[in-house]
Structure 1
Amino acid sequence: MDVRTAHQDLHSERGAPRGEHPGRSRNPVIKVADLAWLEFEKPNLDRAEVFALDFGFSVAARTPDALWLRGTFAGSPCMVIRRGRTSRFIGPAFRAAERADLDRLARATGTDVQDADVPGGGRSVHLLDPSGFPVRVAHCAESLPSLPEQQPLLLNFGTDHSRRNTTQRPPREPSRIQRLGHVVLETRVFGRALDWYLDTLGLIVSDFLFLDGQRDRGPTMAFLRCDLGDLPVDHHTLAMHLGPGNGYVHSAYQVTDLDAIAVGGEYLKERGYKRSWGIGRHIQGSQLFDYWRDPDHFMLEHFADGDLFSRDLEPGWAPMSASGLAQWGPPATRDFLGTNPSPAKVREVLHALRGDNELDPARLLGLMKAMSS
Structure 2
Amino acid sequence: MSGHHDVHAGLHSEQGARTGEHPGRARNPVVKVLDLAWLEFEKPDLDRAETFGHAFGFATAMRTAEELQLRGTDPGGPCVLIRRGRSRFVGPAFRAADSADLLRLAAAAGARAVPLPQSLGGLTVDLVDPSALRVRVVADTHELEPLPTQQPHLFNFGHEVDRVNATQRPPRAPARVRRLGHVVIQSTRYRETLDWYLRNLGLIVSDFLYYPGQRERGPVMSFIRCDRGSVPADHHTLALTLGPSNRYVHSAYQVADLDALAAGGEYLREQGYRRSWGIGRHIQGSQIFDYWRDPDGFMVEHFSDGDMFDCTLEPGWAPMSASGLAQWGPPVTKDFLGIAPGAESLREVRSIAAALREDNEFDLRRLRGLLKVAST
TM-score by length of 2: 0.95
Task: Report the residue type matching 1:49 in the other structure.
Answer: E
State the partner residue of 1:364. Answer: 367
Q: Which moved more, 1:333-342 or 1:19-28?
A: 333-342
Partner of 2:5: none
| Separation in 2, partners of 1:126, 1:358 | 25
Quote the residue 2:136 is aligned against.
136
Structure 2 equivalent of residue 259 of structure 1 = 259
Q: 1:163 to 1:290 in 2, by over 3 A?
A: same
SS where residue 240 of structure 1 aligns?
A: strand
Separation in 2, partners of 1:118, 1:161: 51
- Paired with 2:143 and 2:325, the residues of 1 have a C-alpha distance of 35
Shift in Å, 1:137: 0.2
The residue aligned with 1:162 is 162
Distance 1:358 1:120, change over 3 A: closer
> For residue 71 of structure 1, what is the amino acid of its counterpart?
G
Q: Which residue of 2 aligns with 1:92?
A: 92
Point out the more displaced range, 116-125 or 268-277.
116-125
Structure 1 residue 221, shift from structure 2 partner: 0.2
| Correspondent of 1:349 among 343, 347, 352 | 352
Distance 1:11 1:277, change over 3 A: closer
> For the residues of structure 2 that align with 1:9 and 1:371, how far apart are their CA atoms?
19
- Say which SS state the counterpart of residue 347 (structure 1) adopts: helix
TM alignment of 1:327-346, pairs within 5 A: 327-341=327-341, 342-346=345-349
Give, as a single letter, the amino acid of the residue that structure 2 aligns with 1:229.
Answer: G
Same amino acid, percent of matched pairs? 63
Task: Give the Cα–Cα distance (whole angstroms) in 2 for the partners of residues 346 and 199 of structure 1.
Answer: 32
- In the alignment, does 2:314 pair up with 1:314? yes
What do you get for the CA RMSD once the two structures are aligned? 1.3
Change (3 A) 1:325 1:8: closer
3-state SS in 2 of match to 1:269: helix
Write the distance in 2 (CA, Å) between the matches of 1:345 and 1:293: 17
Return the alpha-carbon distance in structure 1 between the equivalents of residues 131 and 265 of structure 2.
33
Q: What letter is aligned with 1:108?
A: A
Residue 109 of structure 1 is matched in structure 2 by 109
Q: Could you tell which deviates more after superposition, 148-157 or 178-187? A: 148-157
CA distance in 2, matches of 1:141, 1:294: 28
Counterpart residue identity of residue 41, structure 2: F
Summarize the alignment of residues 179-218 of structure 1 with structure 2, pairs less than 5 Å apart. 179-218=179-218
- 2 CA distance for matches of 1:141 and 1:36? 9
CA 1:211–1:170 in 2, change beyond 3 Å: closer, same or farther?
A: same
**Inter-partner Cα distance in structure 2 for 1:10 and 1:263:** 33
CA distance in 2, matches of 1:168, 1:345: 44
2: CA distance between counterparts of 1:214 and 1:11? 15
Equivalent residue for 1:41?
42
> Counterpart in 1 of 2:52?
51
Displacement of 1:99: 1.3
Q: Shift of the alpha carbon at 1:363?
A: 0.5
Distance change >3 Å, CA 245–CA 120, structure 1 → 2: closer
For the pair 1:30 / 2:31, whether they are aligned, the reply is yes
Contact 2:77–2:141, Cα closer than 8 Å, also in 1 = no
* Structure 2 gap segments, 5+ residues each: 1-10
Q: Is the 8 A contact 2:184 2:248 kept in 1?
A: yes
**Distance 1:290-1:38 versus aligned 2 partners, 3 A rule:** same
Q: Which runs of 5+ in 1 are unaligned?
A: 1-6
Letter in 2 for 1:126: D
* SS of alignment partner, residue 126 of structure 1: strand
Q: Distance in 2 between matches of 1:140 and 1:43?
A: 30
Deviations 1:313-354 (A, max 9, x none): 000000000000000000000000112254433211100111
Give, in whole Å, the separation in 2 of the partners of 1:230 and 1:8.
26
- Is the 8 Å Cα contact of residues 95 and 139 (structure 1) preserved in structure 2? yes
AA of the residue aligned to 1:263 = A
What is the CA deviation profile of residues 23-72 of structure 1, one whole-angstrom value per residue up to 9, with x for unaligned ones?
A: 00000000000000000001100100000000000111111111011100
Q: Distance in 2 between matches of 1:124 and 1:344?
A: 33
Cα distance in structure 1, aligned partners of 2:145 and 2:290:
27
* C-alpha distance 77-211 of structure 1, shift in aligned 2 (>3 A): same
> Residue by residue, what CA displacement relative to the aligned partner does 1:137-183 show, whole Å, maximum 9, x if unpaired?
00133211100010111111111111111111111110000000000
